[in-house]
Amino acid sequence: MFQHSLLIEKSASVRWSGKSNGANNKWPFPNRPSKNMTKSSVPPSATNSTEVLTGVSGVAVPVMLFSEFTLKTTGCGLPSGPLGLYGAIEGLSYLWVVGLVGYSVYTKTTTGKGLPSGPYGLLGAAEGMSYLAILCGLVVLGFQVTEYGYIPNAIPVEGGKCY
């Protein structure tokens, strides 16, 4: 006939264990996971720190490289934009990239290993691009001083050379 039981394990999760002769085998949980589902088959959550580092770096590094290109070609950084949004994004991108490189150096010195490569190697790519952006920034800084003779202010000032 129809046998069923619910087992409550120590981790306070409910597991269905039962046998049925095919009659209503979805009782009592119609949306329960498959009996063959293991913990490793559950996808990781989107709040995984590796994914966050990769995602934010995927935005911050191109913004920083574009800012450096603009600085090299015009002598000034990005304009502040509407309500200062472009300047804020630019500043946060610089902070993020410097922070990621600092975190990478800290991890390398304390553990002997760098950051994990992340899903599809994207965090490793973001880390490498961050180092490249820092290197390009130092090169652009040298050109800025030799070609224009000044380093633009981070915040535009009235009567200043930039915006």
pLDDT tens-digit profile, the chain (163 residues): 444 444 444 444 445 455 555 555 555 555 555 555 555 444 455 347 777 778 888 889 999 999 999 989 888 888 888 998 998 999 999 999 999 999 999 999 999 888 888 778 888 888 999 999 999 999 999 998 888 887 777 766 777 677 6
For the chain, strand residue ranges (E) read: 3-8, 14-19
With beta carbons less than 8 A apart as the criterion, state whether 102 and 72 touch.
Answer: no
DSSP three-state, residue 158:
coil
Closest to 64 in 3D by CA, of 101, 105, 108, 114:
101
pTM listed for this prediction: 0.65
b vs e for 127-153, b when ≥16 Cβ sit within 10 Å of the residue's Cβ? bebbeebbeebeebeeebeeeeeeebe
d(CA 124, CA 116): 7
Give the per-residue pLDDT at 43: 47
Residue 77 CB partners (closer than 8 Å, separation 6+): 67, 70, 71, 87, 90, 152, 162
Cβ-in-10-Å burial (0-12, 13-18, 19+) of 124 comes to middle
Closest to 67 in 3D by CA, of 55, 81, 53, 83:
81
DSSP three-state, residue 132:
helix
With beta carbons less than 8 A apart as the criterion, state whether 145 and 71 touch.
Answer: no
